[in-house]
Structure 1
């Protein structure tokens, strides 16, 4: 009979992933060695290999695990059958709060996903695309006119631009934190959404009308 895993196996594995994510976020995936991961964990390198076959396996678990958690947040919010504005607000706030606890994994996802092999990278990116699409659909429910213009996805990407890069300027020991900024981001986006103008047909723009440029986003 095969011996089962100890009760602390998953806990230890999670701690190793957390330390590896912090190292990757600080030094980059190529600049981090398994020796450094072992030292940060206070474990021997053979012990690390008991949990992960190599450094690449760490990268896969960090990136795939993080985006899978984001998908789970989307599913949790959607199961609540909320009104469109409240659903989008909750999505924004839950994501910002999640980033507070996973800033290292999030940085690895945004900066080191290019080091994944093609199959793993596409799987992770497909999950990212599904998350973006959920936000785009939530935007389109509030502003149905943005869907046909392809603007709902662009607006979702602008929203992610606010949420995704907060870790670059929001100090962990500062006056503001992710918890307090979550409703601010939601207020800013939801208050501005009604003012967004959809693009007019080429050659039919009225004088003085602002041009809204859409971008081809493939998150």
Structure 2
């Protein structure tokens, strides 16, 4: 009979993932050893391997969990059945605040995904594309003509440019918080998206 998981296994594993994300974010995936992860978690290296197979699995789980959280946020906003502008604004607010709460995990996703093997990387990129597609649909719902001009996705990527890289300049101990910046991002996008002009397509 296979041995069951000890009580608290999942909680301990989540703590290990959190510590690994902090190390990867601060010193890079390549610059972090399993010895350092074990030391940060205050466990022996054999104990660490009881919870994760190797460093690659740590990276997979950090990225996968973060992306799944974002997928869940999209679904939660969708279930509220808001009007188009309120729906997109809610998505922006949720994502900016979520990135503020998971800065380490988000940095790992944006900077270290390239270190995954092809199979895992392509699968997770597929999930990213699903999330981006949901945002693009929300942008098109605000201005339907953007879809016909094939601009809803480029505008979505410009929006993500603001959201994704906030952690590179917003100091955790600064005067501005993620909660304060979130509505600013939404206001900036909505103040500008209405001014986008559709170019006439060459015949």
* TM-score category of the 2 structures, normalised to the smaller one: over 0.9
Pairing of 1:18-57 with structure 2 (within 5 A): 18-57=18-57
User: Counterparts of 1:46-85 in structure 2 under 5 Å?
Assistant: 46-85=46-85
Q: Distance in 2 between matches of 1:105 and 1:124?
A: 14
Structure 1 consecutive aligned stretches of length 4 or more whose deviation exceeds 6 Å: none
> What SS does the aligned partner of 1:29 have?
coil
In the superposition, the TM-score normalised over structure 1's length comes to 0.90
Q: Distance in 2 between matches of 1:116 and 1:95?
A: 24
Structure with the higher fraction of residues in helix conformation: 2
Aligned partner of 1:132 in structure 2 is 132
Question: How many positions carry a matched residue from both structures?
Answer: 203
Q: Show the counterpart of 2:148.
A: 148
Distance 1:103 1:124 in 2: 18
- What is the match of residue 88 of structure 2? 88
Distance in 1 between residues matched to 2:197 and 2:48, nearest whole Å: 53
- Structure 2 distance, partners of 1:199, 1:59, is 42
Q: Give RMSD over aligned pairs.
A: 1.1
1:4 Cα offset (Å): 2.7
Deviation at 1:7, TM superposition (A): 2.9
CA positional deviation for 1:8:
1.3
Q: Work out the CA distance in 1 between the residues paired with 2:174 and 2:30.
A: 30
Q: Which runs of 5+ in 1 are unaligned?
A: 204-219
**Partner secondary structure for residue 172 of structure 2:** coil
Report the counterpart of residue 118 of structure 2 in structure 1.
Answer: 118
Give how far 1:162 is off. Answer: 0.3
* 1:180 to 2:180 alignment: yes
Q: Secondary structure at the match of 1:96?
A: helix
State how 1:171-210 maps to structure 2 within 5 Å.
171-202=171-202
1:102 maps to what in 2?
102
- Corresponding residue number in structure 1 for 2:162: 162
Aligned-residue offset at 1:28: 1.1
Quick one: distance in 2 between partners of 1:42 and 1:76? 36
Unaligned stretches of 5+ in structure 2? Answer: none
Quote how far apart the aligned CAs of 1:2 are.
Answer: 3.5
Cα offsets for 1:60-102 (capped at 9, x unmatched): 0011111111011001111111100010000000000100111
